[in-house]
Structure 1
Amino acid sequence: MNTKQLERIHTGKGFIAALDQSGGSTPKALLQYGIQEDRYSNEEEMFELVHEMRTRIIKSPAFDSRHILGAILFENTMDRSIDGQLTADYLWEQKGIVPFLKIDQGLAEPENGVQLMKPIPGLDDLLKRAVQKNIFGTKMRSLIKEANPAGIKQVVEQQFAIAKQIASYGLVPIIEPEVDIHMADKGQAERLLKQEISALLSALGTDVKVMLKLSIPSEDDFYRDLIQDPHVVRVVALSGGYTQAEANDKLAHNHGLIASFSRALSQGLSDQQSDDEFNALLAQSTEAIYKASIT
């Protein structure tokens, strides 16, 4: 584990950029960016376009270490290069931004009011490659759709079991049990979730470090005790379908909680924009998300 990177994520001011939409959500991400499906005819061309989009974001002067602590990539981006350097090395060496890797393979069918992660075949090989490519940590997402105690317990147990496997490679896992922002009993789901996370954090070995990526809670500062837990490097928040303005407003009411936005970060960016327009809008977004993250 890179101690400089660990220190940066643990104490740095800023937020984590999520640039990790993968195979299933890539066409949608490209569409939001103004690239229609008729611009590519196969997966390779699609991934090439998405890499161009991410490269444009990463190389933008607005994408800087003054605002951004880390960036989450997906496997295809990790394997590609920017200006002849592997993406993770470019992020850290040229930008001072810590690289993370999304490792999950998407969500299983709903059961017990939740969607667990699908099995992750070849995870050990992927983690070995991540270490070789100088990745600092990983991210994996589950989804909670109801305040179902059995389902929430399953989600957290699955997350922590895989997190231990990840930590054994010297990587820092981001545990992401997203709570659906549209559910009626969101507050109750969050109470159950916090209880399960706290129990499993206290059972971790003393040297195991994790991060948590959670929906912005219904009750302000609800995750304060998790933020202060010695096992937790950082607690970050997902935008979860809120607009950037809504997400920033809610985030600012939670002290110590920082953003890890995906859609809310790239909101409004377009392939059709000139570099000046693109960079100006990205600068506006990073500044606003940064301000909401340092409360």
Structure 2
Amino acid sequence: MNPEQLERMRNGKGFIAALDQSGGSTPKALRQYGIQEDSYSGDEAMFELVHAMRTRIIKSPAFHVDFILGAILFENTMNRKIDDRFTADYLWERKGIVPFLKIDEGLAELEDGVQLMKPMSGLDDLLKRAVDKHIFGTKMRSVIKEANPAGIRKVVEQQFETGKRIASMGLVPIIEPEVDIYSKDKQESEQRLKEELINQLSALDRNVPVMLKLSIPTEDDFYRDLMSDPRVVRVVALSGGYDQSEANERLARHHGLIASFSRALAEGLTAQQSDEQFDAMLARSIRSIYEASIT
């Protein structure tokens, strides 16, 4: 674990850019970017296009260390290069931005009101390759749709069990038990989730650093006490389906909570824009998300 990167994630001002759409979500990300599915054929062409999109974002002067602390990649992006450097090295060596890796393989079917992570058969090998590629930390997502106590407990237990394996490799896990923003009992789910997070954190070795990526909670400053736990490097928020304006407005009400936005970050960016238009749009988005993250 790079101590300079750890210090930056603990105390730096800014937010995390989530550039980790993969598999089934990649065509949607490309459509948002103005590239339709009938304009390419096959996975390799698709991943070439999405890497070009992410390269354009990362190389933009708007994508600057003054505003962005880290960036989450997915495996295909980690294995590709930007200007003859692997993406993680480019982020840190050229931009001063801390690289993370999405490691989950998607969601299992809904059971007990939640979707656990699918089994990750090749996790140890992936983590070794992440270390070799100079990744700092990882991200893995589960989803909570109902305030089901047994389901929420299973989600958090699975996240922390996997998180311990990640930490044993010298990587910092981002624990991401997302609460569906459209859940009819969202606030109750958040209360139960918080209780389970506190239970798992209290049982964790004090020398094991973790991060938490959570839906923006209904109650203002609801996660402030989690931020004071010595094991918690940072608590970050996903946009969860809110558009950029609403995500920022909600985020700004939570002191110490910073963004880790994906769709909300890329909103308004298209392949058809000139570099000047693209950079100007990205700069506006980054500035607005940054301002909401430093309250």
Shorter-chain TM-score tier: over 0.9
Mapping for residues 32-71 of structure 1, pairs under 5 Å: 32-71=32-71
Could you tell me how far 1:38 is from its partner in structure 2?
1.7
The CA deviation string for residues 47-86 of structure 1, in whole angstroms up to 9 with x for no partner, is 0000000000000000000000000000000000000000
- Number of the residue aligned with 2:104: 104
Q: What amino acid is aligned across from residue 103 of structure 1 in structure 2? A: I
1:121 match: 121
AA aligned opposite 2:204: L
For residue 79 of structure 1, what is the aligned residue in structure 2? 79
1:127-142 aligned within 5 A: 127-142=127-142
Shift of 1:39: 1.8
Unaligned runs of 5+ in 2: none
TM-superposed deviation, 1:121: 1.3
Matched, 1:10 2:13: no
Query: Structure 1 residue 198: deviation in Å?
Result: 0.3
Whole-angstrom distance in 2 between the partners of 1:41 and 1:250 = 39
Structure 2 distance, partners of 1:251, 1:227, is 15
Deviation of 1:104 (Å): 0.2
Distance 1:103 1:178 in 2: 16
Matches of 1:64 and 1:106, distance apart in 2: 30
Q: Give the letter for the 2:193 counterpart.
A: L
Runs of 4+ in 1 over 6 A off after TM superposition: none
Q: CA deviation at 1:129?
A: 0.3
Letter in 2 for 1:194: K
Which residue does 2:260 correspond to in 1? Answer: 260
Counterpart residue number, 1:210: 210
Match of residue 154 from structure 1: 154
Q: Aligned with 2:261: secondary structure?
A: coil
Q: Does 1:294 align with 2:294?
A: yes
- 1:28 match: 28
Segments of 5+ residues of structure 1 without an aligned counterpart are none
CA distance in 2, matches of 1:42, 1:200: 42
* Distance in 2 (alpha carbons) for counterparts of 1:243 and 1:51: 23
TM-score, structure 2 as length reference: 1.00
Aligned residues: CA RMSD: 0.4
Give 1:201 shift. 0.2
Between the two proteins, the alignment pairs up a number of residues equal to 295
Instruction: Indicate the percent of aligned positions where both proteins have the same amino acid.
Output: 74
**1:24 Cα deviation (Å)?**
1.0
Structure-to-structure mapping, 1:237-276, within 5 angstroms: 237-276=237-276
Displacement of 1:252 after TM fit? 0.4
Residues 117-176 of structure 1 show CA distances to partners (whole Å, capped at 9, x for unaligned) of 000111000000000000000000000000000000000000000000000000000000
Whether 1:180 and 2:180 are equivalent positions in the alignment is yes
| Cα distance in 2 between the residues matched to 1:89 and 1:188 | 42
Q: Classify the secondary structure of the residue corresponding to 1:13.
A: coil
Separation in 1, partners of 2:229, 2:267 = 33
* Equivalent residue runs for 1:165-204 within 5 Å: 165-204=165-204
CA distance in 2, matches of 1:129, 1:193: 32
